Amino acid sequence: MDTEKLEDLKRFVELCKENPSILQNPSLTFFKSFLESLGAQVPPSVKSEQGGEEHHDELDEDIIESDVELDNTDIVEPDNDPPQQMGDFISKLDEAISHLTEAILLNSTSAILYATRANVFIKLKKPNAAIRDADAALKVNPDSAKGYKVRGMARAMLGLWKEAASDLRVASMIDFDEEIAEILKKVEPNAHKIEEHCRKYQRLREEKKLRKIERDSQQRQAESKAANEKSKKKEQQSEHEASDPDSASDLNYGKIVGIHSVSELETKLNAVSKASRLAILYFTATWCGPCRFISPFYTSLPEKYPKVAFLKADIDEARDVASRWNVSSVPAFFFIKNGKEVDKVVGADKNSLEKKIAHGEDPDSASDLNDGKIVDIHYVKELETKLNAASKASRLAILYCTFKESLNNGPCRLMSPFYTSLLPKYPKVTFLKVDMYEARGVALRWHAHGIPSFIFIKKGKEVDRDPDSASALNDGKIVDIHSVNELETKLNAASEASCLAILYFTATWCGPCRYFSPFYTNLPGTYPKVAFLKADVDEARDVASRWNVSFVPSFFFIKDGKEVDKVVSTDKNSLEKKIAQYAGYLDCESNAFAL
C-alpha cells in the first residue's frame, strides 16, 4: 500500500480516538457502518451544553407500533403464477385489430370494444374505419366518452374541423382528460375560422335576400306607375278623339270601309295612326272562291273588335292600291299600325286571322303572356292580368305553386327543371309560377294547399289539377284500348277537352286491316286535336260487343261521349274527309278546308 495513505489513515484513527463523535458526521456513515458490522460500539455525538456530558434526545427514540385489528376474512394467498405477457414497445396493430374483431363478434354489445378498435384504427391512420367503430360504440352507449373522443380525433384527421370540435367538446364534458384538451387546442382554431366563415356568408345571403325583396318592391311600384301613366295616356287619346270628330269619323269603327284609291287609303290610315289603332286591309276579288268563303267571316269581325279599323279593297277596282302593297295572291290581309305593315295573312285561314287580330288589337295584353318564359306571380292582381291575356288568346294557363329554393323542398327542386323544359314543347301554353310563401293571397284564392301543385286554367276557370287526366288522350299517338273502363276514361278525357275521338276496330287476321293500319298510324300527326283510339276485336271483346261491331275495319266518330258518325270500309279519302269535318278542319257549308 502507499505509505502516505497509511500515514493518513493512522492520523484519522488517532483523531477518532480523541473525538469519537466525529464518526457521527454524515460523510463518514460508510465507515461507521463498517465498524458496527465488526461489533464495535460508536458513542453518540450529542453533549450536554451544561457540563459537556452527552444525553439522548427523546426524538431519536424508536416508536413502537401497536398491532392493528383488521378484518381478514376475504384475504387469499398470493398467486404464484408466472408473470403474464406484457408485450413490447413494437406494436402489432394489425394483430390487435384481428383480436378485437374476434372479441366484437363474440360480444357485439360492448361499446368499449368498438371504441378500442377505433383507437387502433386511429394509430393505423384509417379515420373512416375509426368513425364507423365510434358510431357503433355510440349506438350501444350514447354516453361513451371514448366513442366521442376517437370520432373527434378521426374527423380531425379528415379535416372536418367543425364536427371534430363538437365531438371532442362532448367527450370533454363526459370524461375530461389531458389528451382531449391537447387535441382541442389544435382543432378549435380551425373550427372557429369555419364558423366565422359560415356566419359571414349567411349574413351576405340574408343581405342579398333583403336587396332582392327591395328591388322587387321597387319594380312593382315602377310597373304600377307605368300602368297609371298608360291609363292616363289612353284617357288623353279618348279626349283627343272626342275633340276631333272629323278624324275619328274617318275610321267608321264597326263597319267595313271600302277602299277605291291610294289617297283614300292614306286618309284612313292617317286617322287610324292618330288614334293609335290597328288597321286591317283586306284584298279580295269577285272571281276568288276562297274570298267568297272568308268574306262573311271578315264582315262579322268589326262587331267583335270595335277598336280595329277594317278596310277592304278589290284588286280589280283598286289596281293602284294592290300595286302599292305588292299583292300577288288573294285573299290577303295586311295588318297596319302607325302607317307600317306589322303582319300579314295570305289565305282563308280563319283561326290564324282572328288570333292575329286579337293580338294586334291589344298588344300589351297579349304581351302579358311572356311567350317562351315562365311568368313569376307575386300578387292576385298580377295573376288576373296574365289570365285575362291568356283568355283573350284562347290559351291554356298552368299555375305552378311552389316554395322558394331556400326552404329545401326536395319535390319542388326536382320538378322546377322539368317545368322549365315544357316551354319549348308547348309554345301556345302560358306557364305561370307562384311562390306560396311570398304570394299567400294567390295560394288562398286558388286553394293551393299542397306543394308542388299544378292548376290548369282556361278562360279564367280551373279545368284540372291532375295532369294525368289531361294526358289521358296521349296526344300525337294511337291509344290502344283493352277494356270498357279504359275506353270510358279516354272518352271522358276527350269530352272534357272538347276533342273528337275516333275508335278504330281491327283484327290481326284481317287483311284490309293490315293494309289500312299504317295509314291510320300516321293520322295523329296530321290531326293533333283528334284522339285516335284502337281496339282489337279479339282482345277487347267486351268493347266490340258494347259498340255492336260486326265488320272490320270499322271507325266510330265519337264526340261528347256519343257516336256522331261511322265508316265501315278502307276508303282513306272518305275517312280523312270526315275527320277534317268533325274536328273543325273543314267547313261543312263550303266544303273547303279551313287550314
Active-site residues, by number, are 288, 291
**Locate cell 290559351: which residue?**
395
Reduced to 3 states (helix: H, G, I; strand: E, B; else coil), residue 244 is coil
Main-chain phi, psi angles of 435, to 5 degrees: -90, 115
Strands (DSSP E) found in 166-318: 256-258, 278-284, 308-314
Integer angstrom CA distances of residue 335 from 248, 310, 354, 496, 574: 19, 10, 12, 35, 38
What would the grid cell of residue 488 be?
270510358
Residue at 149: amino acid letter: K
Reduced to 3 states (helix: H, G, I; strand: E, B; else coil), residue 530 is strand
Question: How many CB atoms sit inside 10 A of residue 461's CB?
Answer: 9
Nearest to 256 by CA among 306, 299, 305: 299
What would the grid cell of residue 267 be?
286618309
- In the chain, how many H helices and how many E strands? 22, 17
Greatest Cα pair distance in the chain: 169
Compute the half-sphere exposure of residue 304: CA atoms within 13 Å on the CB side of its CA. Answer: 10
DSSP 8-state symbol, 318: -
- CA–CA gap between residue 316 and residue 337 (Å, rounded): 25
Contact by Cβ (8 Å): 253, 302: yes
Cβ-proximal residues to 578 (8 Å cutoff; 6+ apart), any chain:
557, 565, 567
Contact by Cβ (8 Å): 293, 331: no
Compute the half-sphere exposure of residue 20: CA atoms within 13 Å on the CB side of its CA. Answer: 11
Residues paired with 458 in a beta bridge: 396, 461
Handedness of CA 455, 458, 463, 467 (dihedral sign): negative
Strands (DSSP E) found in 449-583: 453-458, 461-464, 478-481, 500-506, 530-536, 554-559, 562-567
- CA–CA gap between residue 239 and residue 243 (Å, rounded): 6
Residue at 584: amino acid letter: G
Nearest to 361 by CA among 311, 310, 305: 305
Strand order in the sheet with 461-464: 375-377, 429-435, 396-402, 453-458, 461-464
Handedness of CA 8, 11, 13, 16 (dihedral sign): negative
Reduced to 3 states (helix: H, G, I; strand: E, B; else coil), residue 349 is coil
Residues paired with 479 in a beta bridge: 533
Helix 127-140 with 111-123: angle, nearest 10 deg: 170
Main-chain phi, psi angles of 327, to 5 degrees: -80, 120
573: alpha, beta or left? (left if phi > 0; alpha if psi -120 to 50): alpha
What would the grid cell of residue 367 be?
304581351
What would the grid cell of residue 30 be?
460508510
